[in-house]
Amino acid sequence: MSLARKPQPAAEATRPPGFLPGLKAGFSQGLRKGARGFLWICRILVPISFAVALLDWTGWLYALDPVFQPVMGLINLPPQAALPILMALFTSFYAALATIVIVPFSAEQIILLAVFITIAHMLVVEGVIQHKSGISLAKIDAIRLVTAGITVFAVSQFFSGTEMPVALPEAMGARAALLDTLAGWTLSTLRLLLKILIIIMVVMVVLETLKVLGWNEKLAALFRPFMALLGLTPNVTTLWVAGAFFGLVYGSAVIIEEAANGEFAEDELERLHISLGINHSIVEDPALFLALGVSVFWTVVPRFIAAAVAVQLYRLVGIARSHLGPLTGSGPT
């Protein structure tokens, strides 16, 4: 006969630990997850940045400038900005970072790229997650793309010359020897990876400690008064906190599970997803761009405002449709 221990009651099993044990557990779990996350980032960032460095050395990186010039010009960015944006949209956030490191963008251009990429990235993966929990994939991806473009255009008005092309290799003098290029790439990549390692460890320790101590609900209570400003209902505060702080990928388990319970109206979920699609992972993403010298202000404030405006506009459109519906449907069929 088995002498296996009986399972604990649910309430006792899920009770948060004390403060000091919680700190210890959060620190340990954060370090483990931070290490795994850092290795995952390295597997993406190193090979892609190496490939882009070679393309930059050959000059092929600039061959498609005429193709992207009209599109990028609409949002006051140089044609070379299309590469990190496409990387972000269809591969990953970190692939875009790898590209930005290699191409000699100006500080202002990097800020605009940071604004666009933090709003619109990983549209397939994150779009599917949002589609499974309350909003059409096509709708949320379109909203994120349009919002990213408009927000970047608005932010670009604070700078000058952001659309100026990146200097071609020939314009910077004789092409460097391949070994010198590789040496420069190695040094810059190691510096960036060191910054990312420190940042991601700190971020993951903080996030894991919050989860272990059960402070998510307290965090949700803190933000509940701001829900009206964001165009959301207090009912979705916990889901908003999960997505906003832990990201759509990390917070997807909470979002999908809670959305499947049927406790939320369709309009509530759609507004929540519009807000989170534009403004999520408000800790990790700004921290990573901080390693590139981008102030947290530019990766937090513009998309917070953009998310609030987008949701409020969506809500007003819904109200207008509800009022116009009876009028347009009152005539003979």
Do residues 155 and 298 make contact, with C-beta atoms less than 8 angstroms apart?
yes
Q: What is the mean pLDDT of each run of 10 residues along the chain (333 residues)?
A: 44 62 86 83 79 77 73 90 88 83 90 96 84 88 96 93 63 61 83 80 79 76 87 86 78 67 84 94 89 94 97 91 67 44
Residue 162: the pLDDT is: 76
Residue 3: the pLDDT is: 42
CA angle 113, 241, 320 (to 5 degrees): 80
Structure tokens at 172: 């910077």
Distances (CA, A) of 70 to 76, 99, 162: 10, 21, 14
What sign results for the dihedral spanned by CA atoms 288, 292, 293, 297? negative
Location of structure tokens 């390692």: 197
Q: How far apart are CA 173 and CA 139, in angstroms?
A: 47
The SS3 assignment for 291 reads coil
Q: How far apart are CA 26 and CA 208, in angstroms?
A: 5
- Say if residue 9 is exposed, middle or buried (CB neighbours under 10 Å; 0-12, 13-18, 19+): exposed
Furthest C-alpha separation in the chain: 81
Q: How far apart are CA 152 and CA 108, in angstroms?
A: 11
